[in-house]
A and B are shown apart, each in its own frame.
Chain A
Amino acid sequence: MSDPAPAPESKPKVKDDTAGATEASNHIQIHVVSQSGDDVFFKIKRNTPLSKLMRAYCSRAGVDISAVRFMFDGSRVREDMTAEQLEMEDGDEIDVMAEQVGGQ
């Protein structure tokens, strides 16, 4: 019973110690470049799913998320991917491409 009591006490301490050190390096700036060349940048944590960024961009640009594709260095970015997985660095660019249809 007495065990859980000290844990909450020590936890915030640990958080406080590391937060300042890691958060600076944990955040990266990512440029989202549209097809017409407009550049919007976002700050995002390395381990946050990029869906957050995508949704933010889409609501800002006023487009439906299903109508655009996000590409990083030629490969598609899935919503559940994080910057860490994609080995993104500060200042990297994500391309936004419009949906393509055609054929008939």
Chain B
Amino acid sequence: LEATKPPDAEPKAKAFKPFRRELKLEVVKAVRHELKRKCKRRPEAYRRLRREVKLLDTEPEPKSEGAKLSEAEAKTPELPPEPVQPAYVPLPSNRAAVVRELLKGASKVAGNINGLGGCGKSSLAEIAAQPNVVPMFEHLKREAKRKRKREVAAKSGPKSKAAKLLGTDERMTHRGWLACIKPPLSPFEEERVDHVMRACTARGVADVGNITLTRAHFVRLEPGGWLSDRIVNAYMELLQAHFNRFTRHKVWFTNSFLAAALYLDRRTLNYGRVSKWLGNAVDGGIMSLAKIIVPVNLDNSHWFTVAIELGPKTITFYDSMAGEVDSGLAEALKEYVALQVEQETGRRLDMSQWHVVKPVGLPQQTNLVGNSGWWVATTTPWG
């Protein structure tokens, strides 16, 4: 993995795009780790992995602004006052810290990676911590295109493998993807990746918390695939693990079923169904939390995130689709907070002071068929 940095002039919105590709890259990395474990006679694979990790560690923070923000947050436990219409702030970059931390030792949440030698725990979690990924893939794609143009112009010389794969169709195949990753996989490694990604359909590739991810789920990360709740919830588990470690004020990442059980399934408030969820997940109860992050699946077609901020008393909809917020859901979430507080303290919150907002300046989907799933993952300022 040559950490090919994008030109700095790259527009901000573009920097978020290759997120899912990076995750795929991590799958490959995980497979390589398996190789290391299974065939000790190929130590170079392991060495390469170490080098990659080091590279990631030493990578300069792409956004100093964001880094400063994270430092400031770490120093002051109290929440910074937020305006009613908060401007969009990209997530601070702290991937290096996470990677280091996770490689150190046992991470309970993301442990038990079947057949992957335990390295999957760094892979998914690393992604979780870092949306400002290096758009390496974009870079390679551009290069391959340029190369192909040159070759077509010259009408001679064999095409590179990547150019061949990229040239005919924009849509990437799994194999084409792999061919684009530097350093290219050896045939032996490719065989193994294929084995994991194709052959063992039913076997779990990685266990994240209680969620088993199989090949079928990773395939959803291909460009053009829709995200399933498993991927989203696994991601939430990893974010939870990350934030429990690295942040002072507490954040609860709910699973994607909270909104469904609370309101969306029956379009009426069902507090009884979810009354125990928070108590089970969070030690100190709702009063100890600063934020609740609720991923929402709308009618099996669209993902977005709602952040409930208990300090500034706002419910923020991070939705890539333009339009009004779902007022029913907003009210249900307000009521959820009120009832949860009432259940714990016996006192009723005055919810009239709460605001429902959709921040200005959010990157929006340009078309109806954008990938809102990853959009959700990459643009919500989790902390």
Contacts and interface: CB of A to CB of B under 8 A. Distances in A.
Given A77-B210, A102-B303, A104-B370, A95 B226 contact: no
Please give me the 10 A-B residue pairs with the lowest Cβ-Cβ distance, nearest first. A74-B277, A103-B373, A100-B229, A100-B297, A76-B210, A73-B276, A103-B226, A35-B265, A103-B227, A97-B257
Contacts of B257: 69, 71, 95, 97, 100
Interface string A72-102: 0111111000000000000000010101111
A36 interface: yes
| Chain B, interface SS category | mixed
A20 interface: no
A101 B229 contact: yes
A8 interface: no
Nearest to A35: B265
Interface bin, chain A:
20 to 34
Contact of B210 (A35, A73, A78, A100): A78
Interface of A: 33, 35-37, 69, 71, 73-78, 95, 97, 99-104
Interface string B201-243: 0000000011110000000000011111100110000000000
Nearest to B369: A104
A74 B252 CA distance: 12
Contacts of A99: 228-229
Contacts of A101: 226-229, 297, 300
27 contacts: A35-B260, A73-B276, A74-B254, A74-B258, A74-B274, A76-B209, A76-B211, A76-B233, A78-B210, A97-B229, A97-B260, A99-B228, A100-B228, A100-B229, A100-B256, A101-B226, A101-B297, A102-B297, A102-B302, A102-B372, A103-B302, A103-B373, A103-B374, A104-B369, A104-B370, A104-B372, A104-B373
Contact of A102 (B258, B261, B277, B300): B300
A24 B35 CA distance: 50
Task: Name A's interface SS.
Answer: loop
Given A35-B266, A102-B226, 18 more contacts: A33-B273, A36-B265, A73-B276, A74-B274, A75-B280, A95-B261, A97-B257, A97-B261, A99-B229, A100-B256, A101-B226, A102-B297, A102-B298, A102-B301, A102-B303, A103-B225, A104-B224, A104-B370
A82 B2 CA distance: 47
Given A99-B228, A102-B372, A104-B369, A36 B266 contact: yes
Contacts of B281: 74-75
A44 B64 CA distance: 56
Of A73, A75, A100, most B-chain CB atoms within 10 Å: A100
Contact of A100 (B254, B300, B372, B374): B300
B3 to A, nearest CB: 28
Contacts of B210: 75-78
Contacts of A100: 228-229, 232, 256-257, 260, 297, 300
Nearest to B370: A104
A97 B266 CA distance: 12
Nearest to A77: B210
Of the candidates A69, A73, A74, A76, the one having the most CB atoms from chain B within 10 angstroms of its own CB is A74
A37 B278 CA distance: 21
B284 to A, nearest CB: 16
Given A101-B229, A103-B226, A95 B301 contact: no
Which of A69, A74, A78, A103 has most B Cβ within 10 Å?
A103
B255 interface: yes
B227 A74 contact: no
A91 to B, nearest CB: 14
Contacts of A37: 266
Interface in B301-354: 301-303
A33 B260 CA distance: 14
Contacts of B227: 101-103
Interface string B264-297: 0110000001101110110000000000000001
B70 interface: no
A81 B261 CA distance: 22
Given A74-B274, A75-B281, A77-B210, A103 B300 contact: no
B24 to A, nearest CB: 16
Contacts of A36: 265-266
Contacts of A102: 226-227, 297-303, 372-373
